[in-house]
Amino acid sequence: MENDQEELYQTVIANKYCIGCGVCAASEDSPFDMAFNEKGQYQPVMKERQAAEAYVGNLCATCPFSDQCRNETEIAASLFGGSAGITFNDYTGYYLNTYGAYVKGDAFREKGSSGGMGNWIAAKLLEDDLVDAIIHVKEAKDGSGRLFSYQVSTTVPELLDGAKSKYYPIELSAVIKQVMANPGRYAIFGIPCFIKSVRLLAEKNRIFDERIIFTIGLVCGHLKSDQFAKSIGWQMGIEPDKLTEIDFRQKIPGRKSSDYGVEVSGEVAGQAVTKTALTRDLYTTHWGDGLFKYTACDYCDDVLAETADVTIGDAWLPEYEKDSNGTNIVVVRNQIIQDVIDRHREELFLEALSMDKVYQSQAGGFRHRRQGLAYRLYLKDKKGEWRPQKRVQASADATAKRKKIYVKRMALVEESYRAYEAAVKAGDFQYFITYMNPILKDYQKVNDRPFVIRALGKVKRIFLDPLRK
């Protein structure tokens, strides 16, 4: 191809494999800026032509979906491969230890999505003077119209202010510029593909490499466009452009940890309102349906952030789920993080978890990104279309039923965006439901999930009494 930026555009971006991480837009002279597209996803857009043509760099080498970068196993092998006590597993990648865990006593678990281990580890890195700052995702509050963004916290209270999972588009370009301009020792949180981008950039940029001391990965099912957040608010009576805050993970005492709630704030008829509902009562929140997903996520094979020093997720296992306060799975790969955990062990509930249990806790995610990915790659190859090289090989070796599920899931994603556009045009969320009902019914029939016909009136009634037993 003509040049590097053209190659990145023609392969990853134009074919919808871009996850919007923002690394290709992180240098001042990059040909790209990050912007929301019509689906509410961050994507790179070409700056004006003159600047674009002047660029000399290697963008493909730092893009997690380009074929010009090393894969997760190769990156992790050079980071952790030779460490004492390290083991490799096809699902987890390299690991020293795996745990079921939560933070006892103080605010971390209460404020966290799950057991609070993510922010607790970050806090210990600050308190033990191993880093100066934590890069993570907090409420934007910058007038940009975005609800969340990557920001830098230097104290534990600031860190806790950014607790909980943000199922919302974020990107790294601005915060990378901040790191490059401000010397210091940083730890960074990220979903697996973002941590891969950070590792790739660190391979190419010595200053960035020296400043990013630790990476904290989050287990990832998939990333959502901002229409996911807006759809939740809209179902609960807040128009999309009036949604100002969302808490995706509210713990409900007495319920299973997986049976959590969501809280939205915004403006209705000029009045500030805050509303709460159980996610299972809402139309767009069933994670398996994958509504408002980035297409790139269907071509991802890293569930457990294999290139991160430590990975934190939800322990979706019956023995832990019964505790509404939440329990994490933790995969430790870096001995320094292991030492931090060992040093402060009395602050934690911590029990070793077998590899089988780690797998079980994310079984759906692994199936979608192993067998499901193999079939999606096979379909791409059959059509002769470009797609990124993955560690999973293309294969049609799944049952007819599973193949149907995978095909219908891809359609669900595309249809959710069309349905949302129709609802916006009509100014009525009921259009979304009417549009999606037959599509979801068809999918759920193949997937053996009972389908409940929904109407918005029903949804609205439900949120009024969210905590009913």
Interface with ligand FAD by CB under 6 A: which residues? Answer: 108, 112-119, 136-138, 162-167, 170, 189-191, 218-221, 223, 312-314, 326, 328, 362, 365
Closest to ligand SF4 by CB, 190 vs 237, is 190
Nearer to ligand FAD (CB atom), residue 5 or residue 225: 225
| Residue choice 302, 309, 314, 321 for contact with ligand SF4 (CB under 6 A) | 302
Nearer to ligand SF4, 23 or 353 (CB): 23
Nearer to ligand FAD, 156 or 163 (CB): 163
Say how far apart CA 415 and CA 408 lie, in whole Å: 10
**Which range binds ligand SF4 by CB under 6 A, 187-195, 353-361, 389-397, 417-425?**
187-195
Which of 11, 13, 170, 316 contacts ligand SF4 by CB under 6 A? 13
What's the closest the beta carbon of residue 190 comes to ligand FAD, in angstroms? 5
Q: Among positive and negative, which fits the CA dihedral 416, 421, 422, 426?
A: positive
What is the maximum alpha-carbon separation in the chain? Answer: 62
Give which of ligand SF4, ligand FAD, none residue 13 binds (C-beta under 5 to 8 Å, depending on kind): ligand SF4
Out of 4, 5, 15, 23, name the contact with ligand SF4 by CB under 6 A.
23
Instruction: Confirm or reject binding of residue 179 to ligand SF4 (CB under 6 A).
Output: no
Distance between CA 350 and CA 327 in Å, rounded? 10
User: Strands 328-332 and 97-103: what pairing?
Assistant: antiparallel
Task: Report whether 268 contacts 275 (CB < 8 A).
Answer: no
Tokens of 346: 């009395």
Give dist(CA 275, CA 376) in Å, integer. Answer: 39
Closest Cα partner for 188 from 206, 207, 208?
Answer: 208
Q: Does 162 bind ligand SF4 (CB under 6 A)?
A: no
Rounded Cα distance between 83 and 96, Å, is 9
Residue 224 corresponds to which tokens in the numbers above?
């959502």
Least separation, in Å, of the C-beta of 315 and ligand FAD?
7
Residue 284 DSSP class: S
Q: Which does 218 bind (CB under 5 to 8 A by kind): ligand FAD, ligand SF4, none?
A: ligand FAD
Determine how many CB atoms are found less than 10 A away from the CB of residue 174. 14
Q: Is 24 in the site for ligand SF4 (CB under 6 A)?
A: yes
The SS3 assignment for 248 reads: strand
* φ/ψ (deg, to 5) at 244: -115, -25
Residue 95 phi, psi (nearest 5):
-155, 150
Residue 44 near which of ligand SF4, ligand FAD, none (CB within 5-8 Å, type-dependent)? ligand SF4
Give the residue, chosen from 160, 193, 291, 436, that forms a contact with ligand SF4 under the rule CB under 6 A: 193
Binder among 64, 100, 169, 237 for ligand SF4 (CB under 6 A): 64
C-alpha 268: how far from its chain's center?
30
Residue 192 as a binder of ligand SF4 (CB under 6 A): the answer is: yes
Candidates 39, 222, 376, 390: give the one binding ligand SF4 (CB under 6 A): 222
Tokens 């009634």 -> residue:
461
Type of residue numbered 400:
A
Residue closer to ligand SF4 by CB (options 21, 262) is 21
Radius of gyration over every alpha carbon of the chain, rounded to an integer in angstroms: 22
**Which residues here bind ligand SF4, judged by CB under 6 A?**
8, 12-13, 18-24, 44, 63-65, 191-193, 197, 220, 222-223, 294, 296-297, 300, 302
